[in-house]
Amino acid sequence: MAFAAFATAEAVPQAPKRASRIGWFLLAPGLAYLALFFLTPLISLLLTSLQAPDLYGDIGAYVYAFNWQNYVDVVSEYGEHILRSFGYALVATAAALLISYPIAYYIGVRCRSRPLLQSILLVLVIAPFFISFLLRTLAWKQLLSDESFIITSLKALSLMAPDAHFTGTAFAVIFGLTYNFIPFMTLPIYTTLERLDTRYLEAGADLYGSPATVFRKVTLPLSMPGVVAGTLLTFIPAAGDYVNASRDFLGGTDTAMIGNVIEANFLVLLNYPAAAALSIILMAVILAIVGVYVKRAGTEDLL
Amino acid sequence: MSGVGAGAALANLEAEEVRPLPSKPTRTRRLGFGRWLLPVYVTIAFVFLLIPIVYTIVFSFNDSIKSNIAWRGFTLDKWANVCVVENGAVCEAFGNSILIGVISTLVATTLGTMIAIALVRYRFRGSGAISLLLFLPMATPEVVLGAGLAAQFLAVGVPKDMLTIILAHVMFCISFVVVTVKARVASLDPALEEAGRDLYGSPVQVFWRVTFPLLMPGILAAALLSFALSFDDFIITNFNSGSVTTFPKYIYISATRGIPAEANVIASAVFLLALVAVVVAQLGHAAREKRLAR
């Protein structure tokens, strides 16, 4: 699995697998749980997405139907939000990769001879996980509000237009997404780089590869599994996130992403079929992207 | 999102101790980036990464009245009286989060560990489908998981409360437990169990006296991961919580009117505790390595 990039104990040859009833006994409770609380909810979601309003009921009352029109409706009404979500997620993933790769390289390769520094930096990378991500996002909102020191300074230096804002813009939402997912990107890349045999890099250099060539032809390909895992761990949750884009956090009136729309339809407007149809669309697109991406990156064995 | 990496990172720390370090410090030739460029870049990146944490901790000492936005002076008051504000709403939310985290962790770690052992040790028909079922929850955006469960609870007529939150948390924790523990099971030397059997240990004895203790670090890492995932989850919780408030949900709801400094106090305290725990674990790990190296 892509995410196994985290758990990197070195596997050793095991005794041949046995077929036994004990195996099923161990497996059954967990799988039954997932069937009940992961698979059936997806089916519920699919059924809900096809519901039609109950003509004799209150708001929020629906009857089962095959109302495919729901999908047409949500795409025409929220197409913009869907595109925006994947656009934001894509930019944030690229930005997070640019920020994270050097961090991972530094910790995983450069710091090898200094294990203490390596441990400290590793702890600092995961440190953000220990403080609620909602509070971290709010911290950025305060730090970059119109009255904040940073923004007033930028305006005083004419680096920012006097009437410009940071919070409430698309830039702010992408900034927040990027920030929130840097550790998710850094850790799997670090895990692969940490195991990189540096003799390959020396061999590349001995063969007159310039540092850039060695990086492009040796380091990067060898760290691909980490890059793939990191980009997935960033892209998938970023596309479905609705905290950063929320108006109470970094978003504004026209930054709403698909997550915001699903939340509003489900929890506020009680338009369950619309929320369900949007969820199904989100999931389908993500799975398609993941499938194609993993194939193209040549890392099928990760799954 | 959020927690996903939280304990994944912990899992990572745990994993290190079983991994033989490859090719110790062969001198890397300075590659391209320049001697100083990379350290400077990384320093800036770390400052960027840590600014919101420092901000959150500093503002837990802010002598704020209601919303904690402008700096009004230093006070220890909020730390001393965390549970006073809003009749203890912050503490209640925090307590809920702890309770949900502990129960979800116990259930998910048990179920996930059983699956992990089964997958490494036993053969199954349809193992491809099983792997897919375990992988999918991790590749599904949280908003879909949350809406799906909420749609199901709605269809069946289950009222949303603490139980529905726990049911949801166990669901998204299982796969991460499996991944973490599986790596540990696959790294066990089968000779150790053979030795146990040679010494006339019954299968049950061998499991509890040999296998289980050896798996413990992996199980512990998985449990920490589960707890971190559960404790910091907001998106799935928001869909399945009804009127129950967890700590992240409290922050989300209060964001409109301003977060009281007490929330910063709790977040800072949790942060410092977790940091101490990780540092102690790291030091212990370093000490063990030193002993082994000798």
Amino acid B34: pLDDT: 62
B12 pLDDT exceeds 60? no
Quote the radius of gyration of chain A (alpha carbons, Å).
Answer: 23
Torsion sign across C-alpha atoms A93, B172, B16, A302: negative
Q: What is the mean pLDDT of residues A199-211?
A: 87
Q: Do the Cβ atoms of B28 and A13 come within 8 Å? A: no
Q: Which of B9, B48, B117 sits opposite A26 (nearest CB)?
A: B117
Residue-wise pLDDT tens digits, A251-295:
988 899 999 999 999 999 999 999 999 999 999 999 999 888 888
Cβ burial, residue B87 (10 Å; 0-12/13-18/19+): exposed
Q: Is residue A4 part of a domain?
A: no
Is the per-residue pLDDT at A180 higher than 50?
Answer: yes
| Predicted pLDDT at A126 | 87
Does position A6 have pLDDT exceeding 80, yes or no? Answer: no
Q: How many domains does chain A have?
A: 1
Asked if the C-beta of A34 comes within 8 angstroms of chain B's C-beta atoms, the answer is: yes
Q: Which residues of chain B does A267 touch, with a Cβ-Cβ cutoff of 8 Å?
A: 238-239
Of residues B258 and A7, the one with the higher pLDDT is B258
In this prediction, residues B52-78 reach a mean pLDDT of 84
Domain that holds residue A158: 79-302
DSSP assignment string, B104-172: HHHHHHHHHHHHHHHHHHB--TTHHHHHHHHHHHHHS-HHHHHHHHHHHHHHHTPPPSHHHHHHHHHHH
* CA A184 – CA B8 distance, rounded (Å): 9
SS percent in chain B: helix, strand, coil, step 5: 75, 0, 25
> Measured between beta carbons, which residues in chain A are less than 8 angstroms from residue B8?
3, 6-7, 187
Query: Is some CB atom of chain B closer than 8 A to the CB atom of A289?
Result: no
pLDDT beyond 70 at A7: no
**Non-local CB neighbours of A144 within 8 Å, separated by 6+ positions:** A150, A151, A166, A167, A172
Domains with residue ranges and CATH for chain B: 4-17+35-293 (1.10.3720.10)
> According to the model, what pLDDT value does residue A303 have?
47
pLDDT(B21) > 70: no
**Cβ–Cβ below 8 Å for B45 and A109:** no
Average of per-residue pLDDT across A148-169: 85
Chain B interface includes A262 (CB < 8 A): yes
What would the pLDDT profile of B224-267 be if each residue is shown by its tens digit? 889 999 999 999 999 999 899 999 999 998 888 878 888 889 99
B224 interface with A at CB cutoff 8 Å: no
- CATH number, domain of A210, equals 1.10.3720.10
Rounded to two decimals, the ipTM of the complex is 0.88
Which residues make Cβ contacts (< 8 Å) with residue B181, sequence separation at least 6? B112, B113, B116, B117, B215, B218, B219, B222
Cβ <8 Å between B133 and A31 = yes
CB contact under 8 Å between B4 and A205, yes or no, is no
Q: Is residue A230 part of a domain?
A: yes
Q: Is the pLDDT of residue B17 over 60?
A: no
Any bridge partners for residue A53, and if so which? A62
Q: Supply the DSSP symbol for A129.
A: G
DSSP sequence for A244-289:
TTSTTTT--TT---HHHHHHIIIIIS--HHHHHHHHHHHHHHHHHH
Query: What's the pLDDT band for A28 if we cut at 50, 70, 90?
Result: very high
Q: Chain B window 126-165: which residues touch A at a Cβ cutoff of 8 Å?
A: 130-131, 133-145, 147-152, 154-155
Kindly state whether A264 is in contact with chain B, defined as any CB-CB distance less than 8 angstroms: no
Nearest Cβ partner for B49 among A6, A182, A211:
A182
Kindly state the tokens that stand for A189.
Answer: 């890349």
Could you tell me if residue A64 is inside a domain?
no
| Mean pLDDT across chain A | 88
Residue A107 resides in a domain: yes
pLDDT of residue A212: 85
Helices (H) and strands (E) in chain B, counts: 13, 0
% pLDDT > 70, chain A: 95
Strand partners, A18: B122
Phi, psi of A256 (to 5 degrees): -55, 135
Domain membership flag for residue A248: yes
Helix/strand/coil for B244? coil
For residue A149, what pLDDT is reported? 83
Taking the CA of residue A159 and the nearest CA in chain B, the distance in Å comes to 19
In a domain, A8, yes or no: no
Residues 6+ apart with CB under 8 A from B122: A17, A18, A19, A20, A22, A23, A24, A26, A27
A14 inside domain: no
pLDDT-derived band at A211, boundaries 50, 70, 90: confident
- B101-139 per-position pLDDT tens digit: 999 999 999 999 999 999 988 888 888 889 889 989 988
What pLDDT does residue B27 have?
Answer: 47
Element (H, E) at A52: strand A52-53
Q: How far apart are CA B215 and CA B14, in angstroms?
A: 11
- Return the residue in B40, B122, B282 with the most chain A beta carbons within 10 A, the one to mutate for interface testing: B122
Q: Are A28 and B126 in contact (CB under 8 A)?
A: no
Give percent above pLDDT 90 in chain B. 44
| Average pLDDT along chain B | 84
Residue A207 lies in a domain: yes
Predicted confidence (pLDDT) at residue B93 exceeds the cutoff of 60? yes
**B13, pLDDT greater than 70:** no
User: Does B189 lie at the interface with A, CB-CB under 8 angstroms?
Assistant: yes
**Which one of B31, B240, B278 would you mutate to disrupt binding with A, by most A Cβ within 10 Å of its Cβ?**
B31
Q: How many CB pairs under 8 A join A and B?
A: 383
CA distance A29 to chain B (A): 7
Q: Is there a contact between A201 and B154 if contact means CB atoms under 8 Å apart? A: no
Does the CB of B88 have a partner CB in chain A at under 8 Å? no
pLDDT(B29) > 60: no
